[in-house]
Amino acid sequence: ELGLTGSADPPPPPNPCTAPGLPILTDDSGDSLTETPGTDLKSLELAQPYSSDGSLNLRFELDTDPGLSQQPPDSYWYVSFRETDGTVHGVRMWFDPSSPNVPTFQSYIAQGNTSGGVDGRFVESGSEKPADPTSFYDPATGTIVIVASAADLGLKAGDTITGFNAASVQAVTTPVLGGAETLDEMPDGLAYQGSFAVQANEACAPDTAPSAALNASPRSGSVPLQVTFDGSGSSDPDAGDSVASY
């Protein structure tokens, strides 16, 4: 009797060009301050998928426990981050009280709270911009994806984000730290952690197969016939790539 054992190939390492991207933050499960489904944060990943139109976009993925398709009005889930000049930008999924049936996805510039600090919870009036329409919420899996233009986030290729935080938030009628109570924070205390280097869109371009071109000379004749083949017309369409041999 012959016993065979097999092992699965290990998963590929996280890649900033492929969703969900690089792991940025993680959080313990079961620490939401409410029993509302979908408010328990688990992780944040960030990717920069290639855009065929040349635009530079960032894809933020927040993972939570399974949630509700319609969350309480004025509740929101956000990611904020510090840029090298100290400015804090953010993206969020917000259940706008004026249209609470579907979430609104947007980017924004953060403003300070009543204690003078900036932790991403509060939006500078007039700074909101709609996120890319590919943004979505899947309550069954607790997946929140917000895609935003790098330009709307004040970023360009070569910039470095110097810290992230995230939270699930509900509005309160009695002001608590500025009128928004965090239900779960990542990390606890909302200190900024982690970093991310913004690449050029071309850095994530797919690897296109080279095009082979072979020329024979002469193309006809009587046997025996000596034919010379030339592959120098072969090419690789990817920028910076060339045909190594033919």
Q: Which residue's entry shows tokens 């730290």? A: 177
C-alpha–C-alpha distance, residues 35 and 77, integer Å:
16
- CA-wise closest residue to 93 among 20, 44, 52, 48: 44
Range with the lowest mean pLDDT among 146-150, 170-174, 203-207, 225-229?
A: 170-174
Amino acid at site 191: A
Averaged over 122-150, what is the pLDDT?
A: 97
First to last CA, the chain: 49
CB within 8 A of 201, min separation 6: which ones? 48, 50, 51, 54, 55, 56, 157
Q: Which residues pair with 169 in a beta bridge?
A: 76, 182
pLDDT band at residue 4 using 50, 70 and 90 as cut-offs: low
pLDDT at 34: 92
Predicted TM-score (pTM) of this structure? 0.82
pLDDT at 52: 93
pLDDT band at residue 174 using 50, 70 and 90 as cut-offs: very low
Averaged over 3-21, what is the pLDDT?
A: 83
pLDDT at 152: 97
CB within 8 A of 146, min separation 6: which ones? 59, 60, 62, 79, 91, 92, 93, 105, 107, 131, 135
| 20 in Cβ contact with 42 (< 8 Å) | no
Distance of CA 82 to CAs 31, 163, 194, Å? 25, 5, 10
Q: Which residues pair with 75 in a beta bridge?
A: none
C-alpha–C-alpha distance, residues 66 and 211, integer Å:
47
pLDDT band at residue 246 using 50, 70 and 90 as cut-offs: low
pLDDT band at residue 175 using 50, 70 and 90 as cut-offs: very low
Q: Which residues pair with 149 in a beta bridge?
A: 57
C-alpha–C-alpha distance, residues 167 and 31, integer Å:
12
Higher pLDDT, 234 or 189: 189
Widest pairwise Cα distance in the chain:
97
* Neighbouring C-beta atoms of residue 56, cutoff 10 Å: 19
pLDDT at 229: 80
pLDDT tens readout for residues 36-60: 999 999 999 999 999 999 999 999 9
